[in-house]
Amino acid sequence: MYTLIAILTIIASILMILIVLVQNSKGGGLVSNFSSSNQIMGVRKTADFLEKATWALAIAILVLSIVGSMAIPRNIGNQKETILKDNIENAAEMPVVPTVPPTSSETQNK
């Protein structure tokens, strides 16, 4: 379930990027290309559509992010905690200072 929500969030983010890039803050962009009066969608309708699509995608990303945070699998954390505790317990059993065999010069001096 979490993977599906993550994929939907990525798709919505990519669509949001594309829609924002099509818009121009000074009234240009895709809206200015439709200056002919015989188009199916006029200039104002194109601008309204792009603005509504931007808001809809922003809300969708927000909702998917909240739902995704609730859908994160929680049992993975318990497994990591158990592995960490096992590593700590096994580390305490190991010797603190390793023993180093004496060199040949040390054995001759004795």
- Residue pair 5/71 in contact by the 8 Å Cβ criterion: yes
Task: Report pLDDT digits (tens) over 66-96.
Answer: 999 988 877 655 566 777 777 777 765 555 6
Q: Residue 29, SS3?
A: strand
- Please state the domain extents for the chain: 1-17+41-72
**Using CA atoms, how far apart are residues 69 and 64, in angstroms rounded to an integer?**
8
* Distance of alpha carbon 38 from alpha carbon 75, whole angstroms: 59
Q: Give CA separation, 51 vs 17, 21, 35, 103, 108, in Å.
A: 13, 12, 18, 79, 88
pLDDT in tens, the chain (110 residues): 888 999 999 999 999 999 988 876 665 555 555 555 445 555 567 778 888 999 999 999 999 999 999 888 776 555 667 777 777 777 655 556 667 777 766 566 65
